[in-house]
Amino acid sequence: MLKLGVNIDHVATLRQARYRGIEGGEPDPVAAARICEESGAHGITAHLREDRRHIQDRDIWRLRREVRTRLNLEMANVPEILDIALRLRPDIVCMVPERREEVTTEGGLDVAGQEAALKRSCARFAGAGIEVSLFIAPDPIQVEAAARVGAGWIELHTGAMAEAYSRSADWGMEAGRLAAAARQAGELGLRVNAGHGLSCQNLRGLFDVPHLVELNIGHSIISRAITVGLAQAVREMLNAMREYPGP
């Protein structure tokens, strides 16, 4: 069964719009995580950015105490966040690129260009018993590099496919790139997640992508929750994912 990890960053984004610099405030991303789990989500994802634009340090420590499924910490491969992650001990970390000017993570990690640094970090996480995923574009060079640095997982960046949803020819091409990358990852012994820009409508493009374990989805669930409530938004996404044929 294809699993769902819910990214709760946008809950914190809404809170920070009103309560930046103030302890507490609403909505509470940890309360949102509880609702997601109670509604069937298989994991919770949160990104502790260097600029703390949404998730705060206090959030991730509360999440570590209260998440009962699987906590996935998205992070840049930088010393400050690496040290926090090693103390926090999430179930898995997903290393992503960060640019201060972007609204959300817009591209995949250049693993091939950062092999030495990523290999050191993967080794540190392995020593602490923390699984590592690398957020990458469906590029054979990046998939090969992910295997070389010692990551056990990759998360395929689905943004290009999601954006091409209304253009059937482009959509099929992007879905084909994802399928090829997933097959390559399977041959290299990597486990495969996917995420970015996914919705109940466009995730159909992933149904021919093999080896998928989990989809990490945030914005479409949180935005849908404004209309129907968070529990219903999670259930709708899980229902849309049921057609996936399996790894």
- Alpha carbons 215 and 205: distance in angstroms, whole number: 13
The strand pair at 191-195 and 212-217 is best described as: parallel
Instruction: List alpha helices for 188-229, DSSP H.
Output: 219-228
Residue pointed to by tokens 């989809």: 215
- Alpha carbons 161 and 91: distance in angstroms, whole number: 28
> Are 196 and 174 in contact, with CB atoms under 8 Å apart?
no
- Alpha carbons 71 and 144: distance in angstroms, whole number: 26
> Are 131 and 125 in contact, with CB atoms under 8 Å apart?
yes
Residues of the chain with pLDDT under 50: 101, 103
- Alpha carbons 18 and 20: distance in angstroms, whole number: 6
Span 104-156, pLDDT tens digits: 556 799 999 999 999 999 999 999 999 999 999 999 999 999 999 999 999 99
- Alpha carbons 42 and 48: distance in angstroms, whole number: 20
- Alpha carbons 76 and 55: distance in angstroms, whole number: 14
Instruction: List alpha helices for the chain, DSSP H.
Output: 9-19, 29-38, 57-66, 79-88, 115-127, 140-149, 159-163, 168-187, 219-228, 230-241
Contacts of 95 by beta carbon, 8 Å cutoff, 6+ apart? 74, 75, 76, 77, 109, 118, 121, 132, 133, 134, 135
pLDDT at 107: 74
Q: All domains of the chain, ordered by start, with CATH?
A: 3-241 (3.20.20.70)
Residues forming the active site: 47, 74, 196
- Alpha carbons 73 and 95: distance in angstroms, whole number: 8
- Alpha carbons 88 and 153: distance in angstroms, whole number: 20
Q: Is 41 helix (H, G, I), strand (E, B) or coil?
A: coil
pLDDT at 50: 94
pLDDT at 247: 60
- Alpha carbons 8 and 30: distance in angstroms, whole number: 8
